[in-house]
Every structure is written in structure tokens, then in C-alpha cells.
Amino acid sequence: MARDLTKIRNIGICAHIDAGKTTVSERILYYTGKTYKLGEVHEGTATMDFLPEEQARGITIQSAATTCPWEKDGVEYKINLIDTPGHVDFTIEVERSLRVLDGAVAVFDGKEGVEAQSETVWRQADRYDVPRLCFVNKMDKTGADFDFSFRTIKTRLGANGIAIQYPMGKGNELEGIIDLVEMKAFYYDQKEKGAVVVVKDIPDHWKETASKWRHELIEKISELDDQLMEKYLAGEEPGVPQLKAALRRACVDRRAFPVLCGAALRNIGVQQVLDSVIDYLPNPTERPDMLGTDPRDKEAKMSRKHSEEAPFAALVFKVVADAHGDLTYMRIYSGKLEKGQRVVNPGNSKKELASRIFEMHAKDRIPLEEATAGNIVAVVGIKDSYTGDTLCDPDHEIVLERMTFPEPVISMSIEPKTQDDRRKLADALQTIRREDPSFRSNYNEETGQTIISGMGELHLEIIRNKIVRDMKVNVEVGRPQVSYRETITRRVENVRGLFKKQTGGRGQFGDCSINLEPFTSAQAAEEELDFADNIAVKSEIIGGSIPREYVPSVEYGIRQTCQSGVKFGYPMINVKATIVDGSYHPVDSSQVAFEQAGRLAVLEASEKAGAVLLEPIMKVVVTVPEEYFGSVTGDISSRRGIITEQEDRGPVKLVTCEVPLSEMFGYTTTLRSLSQGRASNTMEFLEYRVMPRNLQDEVAKAASGKG
């Protein structure tokens, strides 16, 4: 029996750290009957935060998936829900979740409004064209202000927010919420943990406020719909079904974002979030067809309809190592997957077997015989497919659009204590790499150290704990180090790389000339060049001065050299190398010789092109009480920071600044002592910038000292 796709919603809960995402998720599980006890983050009992590290810290580290039913107007719907982390170090978890979701609920703190990480998450959702609802949470918090939070959705995100609810009171006085579409008041019975919702007429003292917001609601929805606009101008008030239908169309097209409110911890407003997910967020059939390419011809565009009848195609968005077989999470976009079915990964041409299929509920699993289009499931038996890979029908291959993963900005050395630990460490790092695409590791043969890289200090700390505590590997860990990059400042032409070696027998001969120039991803897109690892390589060899079979070897030599660094030993980025000329020897030339020629050409060219060191710059947002403002900004300046924005938020100031990562180690501790524990900060990667010359020399000295 084909399942009705219109009754499915694939949604994620995402927001700034501490806005209450996991609490919202816990309430959803409780009200949909998936759990019979309310889990609390602050007590370490949240269902969705099931890792020991998450329960100890009270934060979400990895996205957890679950499936729950919800009945509305007598119809049962199926909601596939993903709770994502808010901490910027785990931004990859948000990225990969948004890629496979049809809609999202963005949660905001009712006192703080839109915060720094909320902006990042919002931009990620924009990148994947994900329709959203906004839920202004924590309206029971002292200082909560719906009007202010609603304004920040417009001013900070530039989003067309339309309030469909308004809170009756705030802080301790929060009684319930007003539904501005139905014009009814909703009260939540706290003796029943909010599970019993009482609907009444709006109290007299709230009527004026409600009608003012309702008028704005009708006006804004009418602007988005020609038929409603005609009615509005004629002085007619549209009915509830018309308002909902018009708002749904606008939400699915991302022309508007319905804004709700409540207090998840006090069990207020969560059922209405679920109703709004059904009313306004799209089902799989309302999303555009999935686009992809033909694996045999990258230029040939293909698509898949969200239908059970179409050939099977799914995207892997998460891999979790498990003692009973790795769990591979995937979103099925088209067709059907049956237990025991063979599928193919067109990216590496490996055949895979879906030996078992599960519907997930956080860490618990329900076995399925089959799964159809529109669903998110976990599969056991997949061996060679990782995050971002496509799995499809072997007779109808397609490569779905991949995800983009951020580059790590921080690294540290890690050394096993014994030979046995060395072997276990290699396995552990491979497992973590499968699970987390934002993690990198490489072995430095000169120093005998393994270098692990990630998105921030917390990210590396959690990986280290995982290796030591969960995987039982004894390691010595070095201090975190900044991941620098190299680039060039000017274009150079016709730089020759000649590799010539004569030994007793056959010699080695490779010769090439290249142009090297600064380059950007925008230029690469314009010229339709492959910009893997931020390096473009192009061949303009005419007339066979380098035989065709050796050109890829030159390209490989150039890329490998750029990745291992030319002057300072850090990866080179934002460059384009054009192979323009060369020569060969009919006997002594080989692929290895031309690889070496490419390497020598890049080393020589980058020296002439003014190689410089780039350092990661972080966007830092500090929330600081007025009286500590001077000492905090003075400290930022001493860290080579540039303040870009200041904003008053009542008794506190929000300071946005750009600071080099190398100056930010241990900053949270310093900030606490400068402000007697009252200031807080968030930090996220912004961009790479050229480092001052005197500091470049220091880094170069340290690098040569290590070597």
C-alpha cells in the first residue's frame, strides 16, 4: 500500500545555543505519545540528548532523529523530527540535517530575540531553501518581550515574519496564548503537564491588543495573495480557511515565516507548534523535484520526483558507529527501499546491501520491512557510503547534489602511548571521520604525531573524550593549534618545473611550465572549473608538448603540493594553476616524473607570486553589562580585534567584533573574570585573512622548529 506523502512532514528544530530546542523536542515527544515522561535537559534526562557528554554538559552535540504521530482534525500525520545542536562547533550537524529536511522550526529566546548563532542557522536554511516557522520560546522568562523578539526577526534576519499568535502576559504572568488566525485564547492545564488545552474566548483586557495584531496579520497575508488583496481593499474580511491557505502557500515558497510563541519548559504552546507544522510546512510532494547529475556524464542534469513510483534514490546524511553494525541515516527522495535490497553508490560504484531498515526514535529503533519516498530511516549493512553520498537503483543511477562542509579552523596533536594504542587510535579516527565530516586527521611522519582538526576547542575536547573514554585509547594530547592557510598575492607566468634525474639505468624526465594566480570560488563557478580544496588546475597544452596521459600527473603534483603547503607547511587556498607548456623524453618520461615537475613548478611559482600566510578570523558576539563594557572592549582590542557593531539591549550591550582565532584561546575564562561572571560570548568562523608580516615570521619560525 502506497503511503500518502501529503501526511508526512520532515522537520528540524534549530536555533542558537540555549534557546530551548531540546526542551521543545522533548515536549513534542511527550504530546505525540512517543514518551510517557517529560525529559529535562537541566536534569540530564532528555530523550534526544542521549550521549553521556550531552547529558553532562546540557547541550546537544549530535542531531538525533525520531518519528512521531500527530492527529489534527481527525487525520493522523507522521512527523520525522530532527533535533539539531545550537553550538557553533557542531554546525555540521545543522548543515547535514537541513539538507534533508522539508521544513524547520527556528526557536528563539523570548528575552534575547535573534542571537548570533540564530543568524548562522537561518543562513544555512536559506542555502537549502528550507521553509520555516518561528517559535519565540521562553516567554515565561523574566525580561521576555515578544514585541522585541518579533522585531529582531525582521531587522536581523530580514525575514518577512507574520505573527499568528500573541502571548497573554510574560514572565511569571504568562497565562496562555492568543491564536490570531482563529481569534481564540488557549490555556494549558499545568496539572496535566499542559496536555489538556482549554480553548476560550479572548479575555476583554486582551481584545484590543489581539485585534491590532490580527489587523496586521490580515494586511500582511493579503499582500502575498492577489485574491485576498481584492477582498481586503473591498473591506471584506477573509475567512480562516482562506487565511491559512494563503499563508501556507507563502510559507512553502519562503515568502513569509509564521511566528508563534510559548514557553516549552512551562508546557505552553507546543501543541500549536505541531498544528502549525501540519498547517504551514510542506509535505514532501510540495518540494521541488530532487536535482542530480548522471554519474557517467557530470554535465547531464537529472531529477527525481518525490514519488514511490520513481526509481529509488536516497541521500546519506549521517553515519553512526554501532557495535551491532553502523547505522546509516538516509532521506529517501524517490522510490522504495526493501529489507535485503541491493543498491549502488554511484560516487564510488560500490554495491551496498540494506540488510535491515529501522525507524528511529532517538537511540531506540523500530524494524521495518520497507521504507518509501519522503521518509527518513536508518539502515544497517551499508559499508562504503558516507555523509553526502547518494544511494540509488543500480539500473537508474543518479548522483544527488552533495552538501558543503566547512573547513576545520583548529587542530591539536595526539600521540598514542603504546603500540597497541597506535592501532586502536587508527581505527578510532577512521570511525570518527565516518561520523563527522567536519573532523580531519593526518599523520606527520617527521614528528611521528597525529594531528586532529575540528571546528573549535569544544569540538576537539569532545573528540578527545570520545577517543579516551568511549573508545578506550590512551593518548597524550598537545595544546590546540590554529589551522592557518597559505595563498599568493600576485599572478606569475611561465614558471618552469623541470625534474631530471639520471641514474645507471633509465632516467626520469618531466618538464612543465605553469601560470599561477590568485583565484576565488566565484571565478571558478564563472569559468566552470573544479575548485576542490579551493584550488583550480587547468591545462592549456596545445600540440602535445606534454603527452595527454601525463597532464593528469602534472595536475596531481600541483594539487598535492598545494595541499601540503609551499612556504609555511599549511594548505594553500584560492589559487589557479594553468599548465601552459612543457616537454618530454620518449624513454625517460613517466607519470612520477611529471608529478614531480608539477610540484617543482608550484614551489617556484608561489615563491615568485608572494606567498603569504592567512589566519582564521572569528566573528565574536559578546553580551556584556554596561559597567564592564570598557574593560571588555579594551581586552578585545589587545587581541587584535576590530569592533564592527554595538547595540544596546536594556542593561546590557551586544558587541560584535572580528578577532583572529589565535588570540581567542581561553577567552571565555578571561571574559568571566573581567565581568565577575556576568558577560557571555559566542564565536563562529568568519573568513581567512592575511596575517601581519611580523606574526607570519613567528609562525614560520615555530613551524621550522617543529620540523
CATH number at residue 422: 3.30.70.870
Please give the average per-residue pLDDT across 247-255, as a whole number.
94
CATH number at residue 701: 3.30.70.240
Q: Are 563 and 571 in contact (CB under 8 A)?
A: yes
Q: Are residues 206 and 231 in the same domain?
A: yes
Q: Which of 22-31, 94-103, 138-147, 525-534 has the highest mean pLDDT?
A: 138-147
Q: Are residues 498 and 425 in the same domain?
A: no
> What's the pLDDT band for 91 if we cut at 50, 70, 90?
low
Q: Are residues 431 and 578 in the same domain?
A: no
Residue-number span of the structural domain to which 469 is assigned: 410-483
> What's the pLDDT band for 696 if we cut at 50, 70, 90?
confident
Q: What is the mean pLDDT of the chain?
A: 84
pLDDT of residue 93: 63
pLDDT of residue 21: 65
Q: Domain boundary residue among 447, 463, 483?
A: 483
CATH number at residue 336: 2.40.30.10
> What's the pLDDT band for 38 if we cut at 50, 70, 90?
very low
Give domain status of residue 633, yes or no. yes
For 331-379, the pLDDT digits (tens) are 899 999 999 999 999 988 899 999 999 887 655 778 999 999 988 888 9
Nearest CA among 403, 355, 344 for reference residue 378: 355
Return the HEC string of 667-686.
HHHHHHHHCCCCCEEEEEEE
CA dihedral of 626, 628, 631, 632, whole degrees rounded to 10: -80
**pTM higher than the cut 0.85:** no
- Percent share of the chain, pLDDT over 70: 89
User: How many structural domains is the chain composed of?
Assistant: 5
Q: Are residues 333 and 350 in the same domain?
A: yes
Whole-number Cα distances in Å, 420 to 55, 430, 466: 31, 16, 18
Give domain status of residue 279, yes or no. yes
pLDDT over 60 (residue 42): no
SS3 content of the chain, % helix, strand, coil (to 5): 35, 35, 35
pLDDT over 70 (residue 408): yes
For 653-671, the pLDDT digits (tens) are 889 999 998 898 878 778 8
pLDDT of residue 13: 83
pLDDT over 90 (residue 226): no
> What's the pLDDT band for 703 if we cut at 50, 70, 90?
low
- Compute φ and ψ for 208, nearest 5 degrees: -65, -45
Rounded Cα distance, 701 and 29, in Å: 56
Give domain status of residue 405, yes or no. no
CATH number at residue 561: 3.30.230.10
CATH number at residue 34: 3.40.50.300
pLDDT over 60 (residue 43): no
Please give the average per-residue pLDDT across 266-284, as a whole number.
92
Q: Are residues 96 and 233 in the same domain?
A: yes
Q: SS3 of 693, please?
A: helix
pLDDT of residue 35: 46
> What's the pLDDT band for 473 if we cut at 50, 70, 90?
confident
Please give the average per-residue pLDDT across 316-338, as a whole number.
83
Return the HEC string of 390-454.
EEECCCCCCEECCCCCCCCCEEEEEEECCHHHHHHHHHHHHHHHHHCCCCEEEEECCCCEEEEEE
Give domain status of residue 584, yes or no. yes
pLDDT of residue 488: 93
Give domain status of residue 334, yes or no. yes
pLDDT over 60 (residue 319): yes
Q: SS3 of 688, please?
A: strand
Give domain status of residue 122, yes or no. yes
Residue with cell 510546512: 281
Question: How is residue 103 written as a grid cell?
Answer: 521544513
Q: Are residues 16 and 100 in the same domain?
A: yes
Q: Domain boundary residue among 483, 517, 548?
A: 483
Please give the average per-residue pLDDT across 684-697, as a whole number.
88
Q: Residue 365 forms beta bridges with which residues?
A: 360
Q: Domain boundary residue among 577, 610, 643?
A: 610
Rounded Cα distance, 235 and 202, in Å: 24
Rounded Cα distance, 671 and 648, in Å: 19
Give domain status of residue 521, yes or no. yes
Q: Are residues 618 and 651 in the same domain?
A: yes
pLDDT of residue 323: 64
For 377-402, the pLDDT digits (tens) are 889 998 888 888 899 999 999 998 87
Q: SS3 of 240, please?
A: helix
Q: Are residues 237 and 368 in the same domain?
A: no
Helix axes of 240-252 and 226-233: crossing angle, nearest 10 degrees: 140
pLDDT over 50 (residue 50): no
Q: Are residues 534 and 594 in the same domain?
A: yes
Q: Are residues 112 and 20 in the same domain?
A: yes
Q: Are residues 598 and 621 in the same domain?
A: no
Q: Are residues 273 and 304 in the same domain?
A: no
Rounded Cα distance, 184 and 461, in Å: 49
pLDDT of residue 32: 77
pLDDT of residue 705: 57
pLDDT of residue 554: 95
